Chains A and B, each alone.
Chain A
Amino acid sequence: MARRKYKGIDHLSSVDRVVVALMVVVPTLLVLWLVWLPAVGSVLLSFTNWDGIGPISSAKVIGLKNYHDVVTIYPPFWPAVQHNLIWLGVLFLVATPFGLFLAVLLDRELRGSRVYQTAIYLPVVLSLALVGFIWQLIYSRDQGLINQVTGGTIDWYGDQRYNLWAALLAASWRHVGYIMLLYLAGLKGVDPTLREAAKVDGANERTTFFRVVFPVMAPINAIVLVVTVIESLRAFDLVWVINKGRNGLELISTLVTSNIVGEASRIGFGSAMATMMLLISSVFVAIYLRYTFKEQR
């Protein structure tokens, strides 16, 4: 059959129209069902005292009581917020710049740069739960590498003075690789003529990077910012495998989980915290979307 030139939707055969319709409707339904229904469901549940057993109709609407209880009388909540902020701070101020630094180094085509790239990116392939186990071998109080070498007796994962930082080191180890890869892709995309022009104008390496290359990578920066914020909000697996987010490792996500999925089953109460997380991350997602749409226009 000879190919005809496409002249708009009216020109499509009825089969094509069905296909197009399906391609639009099926993903929409999937998104509604898998993303929006649970999200809206959590928000609605957060106003009830549902215990997760039996029909939802048995739940009582109790207004904002869950939210009020979370912020006033639930002791792990504020430490959890604080830990999430520390998590964000460390990822943003230490891990992300370090990832950028590694990307810049690797972008210079040094010998064996592929090997370094692979080595640094490798942890990203591992799940955070696995990262937790790997570092357990290093941190363990009685058998761990650190204590074996130094002869110390610090319980890195158990002692609440250290465990947050120990966990952050493990999380950063993984985060650095991720950021490195994002920036490496960004750096490859920077037009080399820009650098040459800067060189001709007599700018040194440093000035070229901060004044020319970095601003050009603005879209990548926005992605990295959002990725970092979201990573720190959804930090969960690592601390969960360490000690279920108790004893100095409280995070909002672990509190949500221990309230909802545990034997406790305080679905409403946990949903209230989940809703707070949703709101915080929505702010950053909204900023990001606004930014990208502005770019495209």
Chain B
Amino acid sequence: MTRPTSEAEYLASLVPASVRGVSRRTLLRGALGAGTLLAAPSLLAACGGGGSTSTGGKATGTVTIGSNQSDAVPKAAIQAVMDAFQKANSGLTTKINTIDHNSFQENINNYLQGSPDDVWMWFSGYRMRFFASKGLAGDVSDVWKDLAGMSDALKKASTGDDGKQYFVPSTYYPWAMFYRKSVFEKFGYTEPKTLDEFKTLGTQMKKDGLVPIAFGDKDGWPAMGTFDQLNLRVNGYQFHVDLMAGKEAWNGDKVKKVFDTWAGLLDLHQPDALGRTWQEAAQTLQQKKAGTYLLGSFVAQQFSKGAEQDDLTFFNFPEIDSTIGADAIEAPIDGYMMAKRPKNEAGAKKLLGYVGSADAQNIVVKADPSVIATNDKADQASYTALQKKSVEFVSQAKSIAQFMDRDTRPDFASTVMIPAIQSFLKNPKDIDGLVNSIENQKKSIFSS
């Protein structure tokens, strides 16, 4: 049970064991392909972009970027990065197409098979490897050759099943229980370490007129975070990985226990969650009407910069089973991918090299202090208290998961788990029926 001492070690633990197994196997297979790839880079470049120059050449023209960062804060951050990129590369212009975050995700298949932007924002994990294996993403291995400050673990997390890189990481953020320091001080609360302590705290919060846990699940995915946290605490990291990979049964006692535990916490959750977006729920925390909120650190986007964000902090989701501990957390990575046939390949690769650099990431984390940079060389000295805490938090974690909808098949996550968790929130009593239904659908989907 050693803790990772460096960020690189932390990032190594990002890659689920299942993937490591796969990549080892496919790496051997991919080695042949990789060999030919290295031998004939000019050939590849020649068939890559119609008429565009290879990476070595001077990149000019316009690079289009498909951005899913439609919320105000990250949108401004992306704009700032692209402006800086244009300034540094005369002759290259960028055009950002911002698409609503949820719509972007829902239309991703059509988007990628239509005429996608040269570069688009996406997530690491199964979701990245899926599109890479379907031949919808461009190979960015040459960008990685010149990418400084990215650990081997990040490279692994950006590698597809065929051993090539398809992803350039930009930022990541941890999931935890967020709260306002001023609220905890006012009522004299302390951070709970175990679930029992947390329940006691919740009861006290109710007495003090606060909603113990702010909660909004209109979009269907935020509650997956609650499930993941409970699952990591009740059953541990390896079970999460196997469950997401479809190897464990959903109707076994282990998953039932997760839902049982959740059912016992529901009266501490904000009611009517299915009609509320995460932004609205975050505002109840911001307005000091709620005590805590389980979300990713992007919750800070709903807090104004400066004093209000300094007032925001978090604690790790409490321990449930002392034999499992509380050293597994979730910290998803966001980044960029390249279209299979970008209109401006040289420009796109140049841009990808830039967004992976410490310079670009310094701009992002400054403009959006709710996330932290993936590049080791990024300037951590100017981090806010929350960002510093996030870095420390992830470096202390023993294992790190991505998120349910990034660790498992997208069809399973969106058509089975979203309705299943919503129906659990509506009717928390019929857990047996629920888990059997999930298991039946899982078998059907994973076998196809």
Which A residues lie at the B interface, using CB under 8 A? 49, 51-54, 60, 62, 65, 69, 72-76, 141, 155, 157-160, 243, 246-248, 258-259, 261-266, 269
Contacts and interface: CB of A to CB of B under 8 A. Distances in A.
Contacts of B440: 72-73
Given A247-B275, A263-B414, 14 more contacts: A52-B109, A52-B113, A53-B109, A75-B423, A157-B275, A247-B422, A248-B426, A261-B106, A261-B107, A262-B410, A263-B109, A264-B410, A264-B413, A269-B415
A269 B448 CA distance: 11
B135 A54 contact: yes
A266 B441 contact: no
B136 interface: yes
Identify which of B418, B444, B448 gathers the most chain A CB atoms within 10 Å of its CB. B448
B246 interface: no
Contact of B415 (A65, A247, A264): A264
Contacts of A76: 419
Interface string B92-118: 000000000000011111100100000
Nearest to A262: B106
Contact of B272 (A54, A65, A141): A141
Nearest to B133: A53
A155 B441 contact: no
A147 to B, nearest CB: 12
A53 B275 contact: no
Contacts of A157: 275
B414 A258 contact: yes
B274 A263 contact: no
Contact of B441 (A51, A74, A141, A246): A74
Interface string B106-132: 111110010000000000000000000
Contacts of B276: 158
A22 to B, nearest CB: 32
B162 to A, nearest CB: 16
Given A62-B448, A262-B106, A262-B414, A158 B275 contact: yes
B397 interface: no
Given A141-B275, A265-B109, A54 B419 contact: no
B296 to A, nearest CB: 19
Contact of A159 (B136, B272, B410, B441): B272
B275 A159 contact: yes
B437 A158 contact: no
A158 B274 contact: yes
Given A75-B437, A262-B106, A263-B109, A54 B134 contact: yes
B411 to A, nearest CB: 4
- Closest 6 A/B residue pairs (Cβ): A158-B275, A264-B411, A73-B440, A155-B275, A263-B410, A49-B448
Contact of A262 (B136, B415, B420): B415
B426 A247 contact: yes
Contact of A261 (B110, B218, B220, B272): B110
A124 to B, nearest CB: 27
Contact of B414 (A52, A62, A73, A264): A264
B422 A246 contact: yes
Interface string B397-432: 000000000000011011100111011001000000
Nearest to B112: A53
Interface string B261-278: 000000000001011100
A182 B107 CA distance: 38
Identify which of B107, B276, B414 gathers the most chain A CB atoms within 10 Å of its CB. B414
Given A247-B274, A259-B415, A73 B448 contact: no
10 contacts: A51-B411, A52-B109, A54-B134, A73-B441, A157-B275, A160-B426, A259-B415, A263-B105, A263-B414, A265-B410
Contacts of A266: 411, 415, 445
B135 to A, nearest CB: 7
Contacts of A160: 274, 426
A75 B420 contact: yes
A149 to B, nearest CB: 19
Contacts of A263: 105-106, 108-109, 410-411, 414
A49 B446 CA distance: 11
Contacts of A72: 440
Nearest to A243: B218
A264 B420 CA distance: 15
Nearest to B135: A54
A259 B414 CA distance: 9
Identify which of A53, A54, A157 gathers the most chain B CB atoms within 10 Å of its CB. A53
Contacts of B272: 141, 155, 158-159
Nearest to B433: A75
A20 to B, nearest CB: 39
B111 to A, nearest CB: 10
Contacts of A49: 448
A274 to B, nearest CB: 15
Identify which of B220, B272, B275, B441 gathers the most chain A CB atoms within 10 Å of its CB. B275
Contacts of B423: 75
Contacts of A258: 414-415
B444 A246 contact: no
Nearest to A265: B109
Interface string B132-156: 0011100000000000000000000
Contacts of B113: 52-53
Contacts of A69: 441, 444
A152 B156 CA distance: 53
Contacts of B415: 258-259, 262, 264, 266, 269
Nearest to B422: A247
Nearest to B412: A264
Identify which of A60, A69, A73, A158 gathers the most chain B CB atoms within 10 Å of its CB. A73
